[in-house]
Amino acid sequence: MAKSGECKCFNDFEGEACENKKCPKNCSGNGICNQGLCICNEGFLGSDCAIKNCPKQCSGKGFCNDGVCFCRPGFEGADCSKTNQSEEYIKCSVGCVNECIEHCDINSFSCFVTCTRKCSPR
C-alpha cells in the first residue's frame, strides 16, 4: 500500500510519478531502457537485449547461436567468411546452382544436393 501522496505504479511503470515505462527484463543488463524500449549495447539484440549477436551476422554463410557462428559446409572462421574448399569445388558448386536453376524445380533442394556431391573430393 502506498503512503499518502505516493504513487502506486502499474506493473509496467516506475518512477516517482510512474512516468517511466519499464523495459523487458531490464534489458538483460545488456542495454539501456528508454521509455519501455531497450537500446542494446553493441553485440546484443532483441527486444530485451538478451541475444548475443554474431560477428558480421556470420557473413550470410552460417547461423548464429548465442554469439557463435556455425558455418555451412565449405566455410569457416569466427564469421564464416573464409572458404575451406578448393577453387575447383567452388566453381563446380556454382555450376551446380546454375544447372539446378535451369533444369530443376526451384523448390527441389535434392537436385542441388545431388549435384554438389559430385563436386566433393572423395
- The pTM of the full predicted model, rounded to 2 decimals, is 0.55
Looking at CATH, the fold of the domain delimited by 54-84 is given as Laminin (2.10.25)
pLDDT tens, residue by residue, 66-92: 899 998 888 899 999 998 777 777 777
Q: Which three cell numbers stand for residue 78?
A: 569466427
Crossing angle of the two packed helices 87-103 and 109-119, in degrees rounded to 10: 150
Residue type, position 24, single letter: P
Cβ(78)–Cβ(52) below 8 Å: no
pLDDT tens, residue by residue, 1-48: 556 788 999 999 999 999 999 999 999 999 999 999 999 999 999 999
Sort 52 into a burial class: Cβ within 10 Å, 0-12 / 13-18 / 19+. Answer: middle
The dihedral formed by the CA atoms of 75, 81, 84 and 90, expressed in degrees to the nearest 10? 80
pLDDT tens, residue by residue, 83-122: 877 777 777 777 776 776 666 665 555 666 666 666 665 4
